[in-house]
Amino acid sequence: MQNKKILKVLGSVALGALFIWLAFRSVEFSEVVESARNMSWWWLLPFTAATLFAHYVRALRWEMLFTNKERTPPKITLFTGVMFGYLVNIPLPRVGEVARPVYVARQVGESNSKIIGTIVLERVVDLLGMLLLMAFVVVFLIADPQVLSRLFGIDITNQETQINMILSLLKFGVIAVAALALLYWGFKKAAEKTEGKIAEIVIKIQKIIRTFVDGLLAIRELKNWPLFIFYSALIWVLYISMTYIGFWMFDMQTVYDLGIQEAVVLTVVSAVGLTIPTPGGIGSYHLFITKSLFIFYGVPEATGLAYATISHAATLVLIFITSPSLLAIDKFLGMKREANTISQEA
């Protein structure tokens, strides 16, 4: 098991290195450095503010999925969990999606599997949002949709390709639901026919599946749909704002006439790039952003690569600084709440 984890990490690092090589292979590193040297560094302040606020809004939306109000974590704990998940994702891609709910579950004494279910639900909502935004980009913002084929390597304007993509998503969804239902039924039958410790283990697994599904179906008990939709939309608005602010770092809004529409397109492209399991999106983000700026808007690859490198590095530095700080603050406040509870009971 340990060897398997090591191989996954090494594979992820190798994939990231490959994307970094692809991004830098046709660009002189000195040109990238020169572009970075001439940027307006103070724009990093609003960039980091938008980034932090986007993550905080994600924590607020996550809070709405906790149906047991007695065990709803404090906002600081949820925000810490979000940032901790991003921190873990840097060396271990996708592992942060598990580390985040496990951290929060330990703080409030809730089931790990139930909170993991809320994360899966959250990711489904994010995927739907990305698909809607992608459809908007293809229909309204890309003058020549065929250029997307050059970027992604498939003709996403082809009707057959679109249908196949939708069918694939539906197929995976149906398979996942059927697998969960089958597992639950199988363990239920096994619990009825076994005794002793084996029965206890089977019942425990059955309970894990049930609590996971409870977290996944938390959407049914959502009380304030307009606010949930608003938070989901606001997250994307903030992501687009981060991209747009990056233009101002390199004066792209003047030199290349890049505005909000171009920021929307680039945000979708970066979201696709970040789905590739490289450490913290390293390499895949750089390649997708650099190539899309060049292919769509004629931005020199050295400038595009400087933009991608600085914005990505700023995000990683923010995570490295904020996450440990929040962990310490949340620990302190948790101890304070526990002390207050003990004093009240006494």
CA nearest 242: which of 39, 85, 38, 43? 43
Quote the pLDDT of residue 134. Answer: 79
Quote the pLDDT of residue 157. Answer: 53
Confidence class of residue 232 from pLDDT cuts 50, 70 and 90? very high
**pLDDT at residue 79 tops 90:** yes
Confidence class of residue 44 from pLDDT cuts 50, 70 and 90? very high
Averaged pLDDT score across all residues of the chain: 79
CA nearest 15: which of 339, 242, 322, 282? 282
Quote the pLDDT of residue 165. Answer: 59
> Distance (Å, rounded) from C-alpha 218 to C-alpha 122?
10
pLDDT digits (tens, 9 = 90+) for 215-224: 555 566 677 8
**pLDDT at residue 326 tops 80:** yes
> Distance (Å, rounded) from C-alpha 225 to C-alpha 212?
22
Quote the pLDDT of residue 119. Answer: 81
Sign of CA dihedral 47, 53, 55, 58: negative
Quote the pLDDT of residue 80. Answer: 96
- Give the end-to-end CA distance of the chain in Å, rounded to a whole number: 47
Contacts with 77 (C-beta within 8 Å, 6 or more apart), sequence order: 104, 107, 108, 330, 334
